[in-house]
Amino acid sequence: SAVISQKPSRDICQRGTSLTIQCQVDSQVTMMFWYRQQPGQSLTLIATANQGSEATYESGFVIDKFPISRPNLTFSTLTVSNMSPEDSSIYLCSVINTGSGEKLFFGSGTQLSVL
Amino acid sequence: EDKVVQSPLSLVVHEGDTVTLNCSYEVTNFRSLLWYKQEKKAPTFLFMLTSSGIEKKSGRLSSILDKKELFSILNITATQTGDSAIYLCAVESGGSNYKLTFGKGTLLTVNP
């Protein structure tokens, strides 16, 4: 199974600032996904990040607010820009490993609180 | 729009009890149903189900899928305090693009 390191683990930020979350995988993967989980809510897909192309954003999420980089097959970043308290959530990166029975692996998550 | 509904949303039991968690879904082009356990931030994988009527089992946990009635259940027998977590159901659907829709989860609390 893939090992996914995500950092920071948690952060408390002021509104109007930006935070970049990093996701490192121990093997090369084609597709990486970024999810958000607001308090008491389901996991919601923000975007799919493929190496060498622009990320594909889901309805309700835009690149200006959540810019994503995918410079190679093992690394990706998600930036939460111009933060407001509504951005307080758990952010999770994930990858698919089709080589095992487990389809989707998750990183350790980033707990973001915006004051 | 794809939809995954879990029930109950929360559940409090005593150690040793048996619990059943429910997941119903409405999706286009169903491919598989997955169960995850979320204790802190990162969900960890429990089961993947693709065929109706075949029980998946791991220790005290088991799960089964009914593709005709569009639901799955997750059973936990002889619950322990370590089973306290959010249990998430997710359904993989779609054609060539990977798509996973999550339910809101069931918060299980097991008291000693």
CA atoms within 13 A on the CB side of A92: 22
A interface residues, B as partner, C-beta within 8 Å: 9, 31, 40-45, 48, 90, 92, 96, 101-111
Report whether A96 contacts A103 (CB < 8 A).
yes
Does the bond joining A67 to the residue before it have cis omega, within 30 degrees of 0?
A: no
- Facing residue for B41 by CB, picked from A40, A90, A96: A90
Of B54, B19, B14, the residue nearest B33 (C-alpha): B54
B96 pLDDT higher than 90: no
The least confident of B33-37, B39-43, B76-80 is B39-43
The tens-digit pLDDT sequence of chain A (115 residues) is 678 999 999 999 999 999 999 999 998 888 899 999 998 888 999 999 988 788 999 999 999 999 999 999 999 999 999 999 999 999 999 998 766 555 788 999 999 999 9
CB contact under 8 A, B90 and A43: yes
Backbone dihedral region of A102: left (phi > 0), alpha (psi from -120 to 50 degrees) or beta? beta
- Facing residue for B100 by CB, picked from A90, A101, A104: A104
CA dihedral B77, B82, B84, B90 (to 10 degrees): -70
The structure tokens 């979320």 sit at B38
Secondary structure of chain B: what % helix, strand, coil (to 5)? 5, 60, 35
Report whether A110 contacts A53 (CB < 8 A).
no
Per-residue pLDDT of B40-71, as tens digits, reads: 889 999 999 998 888 999 999 999 999 999 99
